[in-house]
Structure 1
């Protein structure tokens, strides 16, 4: 058995993880130096080519504004690809499974199947006094 695809630790993953940890720490330190040190100190050290300080605030703000927009966009996109309620494909499609009426042992879990829409409507839209114990099972 090959553990090439296993989620367990391996030497390669340890090396990649360490390199990613060190590079992200270095990037954070570089960002903090750029954002907080005055421009005159950076020029004194010899670091002359840096983006404007405006971007030290603008990029994190733009990124944090993108998160709610992505939630909104994802929800709106799901609404656009949803089929209309009167489409038959909202009740049945190529992946639908009909209930099999094969005798099963009494304590076994029944096979996965879709509940017919007529059964769902009977349970949801009957008056409470019409629901019997056999309907709940």
Structure 2
């Protein structure tokens, strides 16, 4: 019920040894110019009381990333206003691509990944976040993740 992207779509393994790059389980910096946090796009599974989630990367401005990093271990950080960001994860289960969808990143209590709210557009992922998905759709997503088509990059 949860799939994760290991790094933003723009991450290159060659960055791993660079002094101005960082990739952790929650934060990423590329060339001290591009800043990302990992959060959850949560989708209710209709009639089940369960939630399906995508762990995705969202780019933030330098200021918002710095603010989020400063508050990373601070109790009460969930009172922070949402940060604007661009989705920087591609998922094979969606067409058109989800890269660069507009988001709002909602900080949660310490120890919880941020909640990623997609702009309410007609993109299939944004619609699913608003309206929920069926168990059959969860199976379709699992199939797309486990057996991605060759023309799309797997997250």
Sort the TM-score into its range (normalised by shorter chain): under 0.3
- How does the TM-score come out when normalised to structure 2? 0.19
Higher RCO (C-alpha 8 Å, min separation 6) = 2
- How does the TM-score come out when normalised to structure 1? 0.20
Pair member with larger Rg: 1
